[in-house]
A and B are shown apart, each in its own frame.
Chain A
Amino acid sequence: MNFVGKSMGFGRVLRISLIYAALIGLGALFSFPVIWMVSSSLHTLPEVFAQPYQWIPDALQWQNYARAVTILPVPRFLWNTIVITAPVMVATVLSSALVAYGFARFRFPGRDMLFSLCLATMMLPGQVTMIPLYIMFAKLGWVDTYLPLIVPALFGSPFYIFLLRQFFMAIPRDSEEAALIDGASRLRIWWSIILPQARPALATVLIFTFIGTWNDFFGPLLYINSPEKATLTLGLNLMKTQVLGSGVVEWNVLMAASLLVLLPNVILFFLAQKHFIKGISMGASK
């Protein structure tokens, strides 16, 4: 999608305006949930369900945010979430990249078989593997700790192994072969040749891992028992559980809290994508 010709004049302007029109139109469509969340977080509860919906309420209910913060001990849950997310990100990226490199570059008997097996673990629905896994972690005494949420990341994730393998296979072998002839070890090549070239892919994996872990609801729900060990996403659920059918969900406050939880995702994505574009231009200039 480059335009090399400089004499396109009108055609070029038209093209760029079309691109902008599409970007703005679709962008509005895709940012809709967040706009709606912001809007509904500033309504009173009856207004959230008023028909027709009034996008900007007569009085902005900023106190919903205050209430969200009093209900959710944000600093504590934030810390808990970081304690889980940070090691998971590091472990997932490194271990997945290492395994993926193996699958992308080494020829050994049974490799394809092993790769298939690795992929196969994704194909069995979690519903049936969950209980045996829980029993195993319970036997290890890891329930109500963060270990069941972190340790599996050390073994990489089939999803990212597959993703990175696809990217590694697209990297030309020339510089690698040169380094091999120079006597560099495979691990060294992986670290200093492959990883820098795969920066966009690694950034992708990092972002996905971050979002996946940050927003993971089911894992913490299963393994965390103590309220003070909750993550932000799990904590959100504390706002809507119902006892005896009496619970009235405060959707407006829930939306306010959800936005607070969402914010780091957006910021990180915004920053990281800038980074992986830089990574590209560096890779391209070799």
Chain B
Amino acid sequence: MFYSLYLSFTASSLLSPPQWIGVENYRRMFADPIFYRSLGNTAYYALLGVPLGMILSLGLALLLDAKVRGQQVFRTLFFLPSVTNTVALSLLWLWLLNPEFGLINTALEAIGIEGPLWLQSEAWSKPALVLMSLWTVGGQVVICLAALQGVPQELTEAASLDGAGPVKRFFAITLPMISPALLFNLIMGLVGALQVFTQAFVMTGGVQPGSEGGPNQSTLFIVLYIYKKAFQEYDMGYASALAWALFVIITLCTWLAWKFSKSRVHYEGGSA
């Protein structure tokens, strides 16, 4: 880890001894329009994807926590996309998002909307990737669910006897009780979204150098840019500088989330 910090101050391909160049990589980064573009793409993805993922996973977890028969089966179904092989998933999505024959656009057409070109469109490629990511919220759902299972029934029952309706019970008891799990999901969601790579790499990768990152570099996320610099241009020094910039951004976001949560997250065992 610290080695990569050192590398970020060097011109290095890792194949030859690194050459110290001071803050040159960082200076170059601040003047690099592609860096800003990738930063903007990543921010867009995270701002759209993280809240949606949180809401969806909580909703699904509540649904799966309902006491009805057959929940084992439903839980397994909701988790399926999360365990499915990435290659199979991406092929499926390419097919679903196919502008001409894909199920999504066919459905939109049925209600009279002309669907976008999705992955091939500069405006829609990021929403398409967010849509894909929502499908694999299974992990977050499981965490929410495990937390919901931990909410003592006596508490909700007591509140219910006190005349609290379901909405009030949810906000007064359930939500605070599962807040540690939500904080976890928030932070992991942030870390994951800011490091989004595989989907963009698989779904919008190209065969020619320079064509990775989707139409007009609209899905060139920071980590994809780091990958290109490191492994296609053998510019490990610059890639390390980019990685450390991302590190600072993620740490900052996490810290903010943490600070923000301090007063709102309830730990039954005391906040130590």
Q: State whether A128 and B84 are in contact (beta carbons under 8 Å apart), knowing that A166-B180, A204-B146 are contacts in the complex.
A: no
Tell me, in angstroms, the Cα distance from A97 to B135 when the chains sit together: 29
Distance (whole angstroms) from the CB of B25 to the closest CB of chain A: 12
A225–B177 CA distance with the chains assembled, in angstroms: 48
A125-B195, A273-B76 known; A167-B180 Cβ under 8 A: yes
Q: Which residues of B contact A188 (CB under 8 A)?
A: none
Tell me if A's interface is mostly helix, strand, loop or mixed. helix
A280 touches B67 (CB 8 A): no
Q: How far is the CA of A19 from the CA of B175 in the complex (A)?
A: 20
Q: Given that A30-B78, A162-B184, A211-B82 are contacting pairs, would A19 and B3 also be in contact in the complex, using a CB cutoff of 8 Å? A: no
Give chain B interface residues in 241-255, CB to chain A under 8 Å.
243-244, 246-247, 250-251, 254
Query: Which of A3, A20, A124 is B4 in contact with, Cβ under 8 Å?
Result: A124
A240 partner, pick from B4, B80, B87, B138, beta carbons under 8 A: B87
Contact B89 A125 (CB under 8 A): no
> Which residues in window 116-144 of A have CB below 8 A to B?
119-125, 127-129, 131-132
Query: What is the total of A-B residue contacts with beta carbons within 8 Å?
Result: 208
Decide if A1 touches B223 in the complex (CB within 8 Å).
no
In the complex, residue of chain B having the shortest beta-carbon distance to the beta carbon of A117:
B1
Q: With the chains together, A269 CA to B74 CA distance in Å?
A: 11
Q: How far is the CA of A215 from the CA of B195 in the complex (A)?
A: 19
Tell me which residues from 132 to 162 in chain B have a Cβ below 8 Å from any Cβ of chain A.
135, 138-139, 142-143, 146-150, 152-153, 156-157, 160-161
Return A270 CB to nearest CB of chain B, in Å.
5
Main secondary structure of the interface of B (DSSP, over half): helix
A219 at the B interface (CB under 8 A): no
Q: Chain B 153-194, CB within 8 Å of chain A: the 1/0 string? A: 100110011000010000000000100110110011001000
Question: How far does the alpha carbon of A112 sit from the alpha carbon of B141 in the complex, in Å?
Answer: 28
Whether the pair B72, A33 counts as a contact (CB closer than 8 A) is no
Q: Return chain B residues, CB-CB under 8 Å to A266.
A: 76, 80, 83
Decide: A236 near B85, CB < 8 A? Known: A128-B4, A276-B149, A277-B149: yes
Min CB distance A128 to B, Å, is 4
For the complex of A and B, 10 pairs with smallest distance between CB atoms? A265-B83, A166-B180, A123-B250, A27-B77, A169-B267, A128-B243, A200-B146, A258-B85, A31-B77, A128-B4
Interface of A toward B, CB cutoff 8 Å: 1-4, 16, 19-20, 22-23, 26-27, 30-34, 36-37, 51-53, 104-105, 107, 119-125, 127-129, 131-132, 159, 162-163, 166-173, 200-201, 203-204, 207-208, 211, 215, 217, 233, 236, 240, 251, 254-255, 258, 261-262, 265-266, 269-270, 273-274, 276-277, 280, 283-284
